[in-house]
Amino acid sequence: MVPVVMPTYARADLAFERGEGAYLFATDGRRFLDFGSGVAVTSLGHCHPKLVEALRAQAGKLWHCSNLYRVPGQEKVAAKLVANTFADTAFFCNSGAEAMECAIKMARKYHHASGNPQRNRIICAEGAFHGRTLATVAAGGQKKHMEGFDPVMDGFDHVPYGNLNALRDAITPQTAAILVEPVQGEGGIIPGDPDYLRRLRATADEFGLLLIFDEVQTGMGRTGSLFAHQQAGVTPDIMGVAKGLGGGFPVGACLATEAAARGMTAGTHGSTFGGNPLAMAAAEAVLDVMLEPGFMAGVQAKAQQLRTRLDTLCGRFPAVIELVRGQGLMIGLKARVPNTELQARLMANGLLTVGAGDNVVRLLPPLIIGETEMDEAIQILSRTLSEVSP
Ligand SMILES: *Cc1c(COP(=O)(O)O)cnc(C)c1O
């Protein structure tokens, strides 16, 4: 008999009842150090006092009113995002896939509004991940996500990630936009070279294309700056944001320049729940914490410290870990043993991680970790690598 919860996930037999900072407490009483953060979502840790207070206060006032009215929380969060990014305007939704759907629709609409409706194809990268809706699985291009869901949505062309020549060769009079993740997440924590990202910008400008960055996973401080592309000195025209934006409350956003959003007029797009007052209270609190002076510098310092320690540790186990890669607190350990096995061992020893493509174990600790959590993580990793070592 089918489980009452549809079995679309291969779940670990583990349930949690409480979270506090970087720790999760299971229903069986065990305590875990959470270096998965619900896949890069709870970036300020569990039950951050400022987030709890913001939600509590909003919960007693207003939960939902619909986008038929002005939502002051959206105006505040959008103003903060606009003030701290390339963007002029933001659309609020509830997830990463929806943020990317909006980005895809906006790119097509932009060319339609500019008198070039034939420009409706988007060049994407192999190994990409943009969500699980029909459009975003087509944009991701992964066979395992599309199998059995034919017909695949048309309008996406794929080239190898990091290869500018292949991308330029794929441009046709029908091309509307280029879409990449600044660091491929699900694909295996593969950082895009800053020079590659800058050349994507130049190429987009040369051919009149829009540049779309999917920062659903890399955004909100994960890589050591509010958004990853800011470190490469390049700006997109459109950007999808979600995961860390609400600190655990489901919320997404699609940011854009005024020019890129020119076609997105009243009636062109919508969402019943998108940007509701509860979501906006959470997002505003997250942004307030992350935009405090010194917060990102602190993340960078911690990331560097953790990375140095991981490089040293993993260097001692070349038979288990092939290499360490990533940016900021978005770190991948490319394993020589099955990543699922390594993850299970880490979990048994009290450390939660997330798998990724290319046999990678992802470390996505909350941005609020301190010396204690880093020490504990290194200790558990050290013990686990010794156990697994042949
Ligand atoms: C997780 C993710 C998505 C999809 O987000 P959902 O909230 O699961 O829809 C899209 N793009 C990237 C890069 C992601 O990591």
The CATH number covering residue 242 comes to 3.40.640.10
Residue nearest to ligand 1 atom 15, measured at CA: 217
Residue 5 forms part of a structural domain? no
The Cβ-side half-sphere exposure at 22, using a 13 Å CA radius, reads 21
Same domain? For 251 and 358 the reply is no
Same domain? For 234 and 348 the reply is no
Which residue, chain included where needed, has tokens 């407490």? 25
Same domain? For 80 and 227 the reply is yes
Residue 2 forms part of a structural domain? no
Q: Which atom of ligand 1 is nearest to the CA of 97?
A: 9
Catalytic (active site) residue 50: no
Same domain? For 177 and 111 the reply is yes
In single-letter form, the type of residue at position 47 comes to: C
Contact 223, 287 (CB under 8 A): no
pLDDT tens string for the chain (390 positions)?
999 999 999 999 999 999 999 999 999 999 999 999 999 999 999 999 999 999 999 999 999 999 999 999 999 999 999 999 999 999 999 999 999 999 999 999 999 999 999 999 999 999 999 999 999 999 999 999 999 999 999 999 999 999 999 999 999 999 999 999 999 999 999 999 999 999 999 999 999 999 999 999 999 999 999 999 999 999 999 999 999 999 999 999 999 999 999 999 999 999 999 999 999 999 999 999 999 999 999 999 999 999 999 999 999 999 999 999 999 999 999 999 999 999 999 999 999 999 999 999 999 999 999 999 999 999 999 999 999 998
Residue 8 forms part of a structural domain? no
Catalytic (active site) residue 143: no
> Which residue range(s) make up the domain with 173?
50-290
Q: Of the listed 92, 213, 214, 334, which one is catalytic?
A: 214
**Ligand 1 proximity of 187 Cβ (cutoff 6 Å):** no
φ and ψ of 202, to 5 deg: -65, -40
Same domain? For 213 and 306 the reply is no
CA distance 292 to 303: 18
Same domain? For 101 and 40 the reply is no
Same domain? For 190 and 248 the reply is yes
Same domain? For 375 and 279 the reply is no
Binding residues for N(2)-acetyl-L-ornithine: 132, 271
What pLDDT does residue 116 have? Answer: 98
**Chain Cα centroid distance, residue 87:** 18
pTM for this prediction: 0.98
Same domain? For 223 and 115 the reply is yes
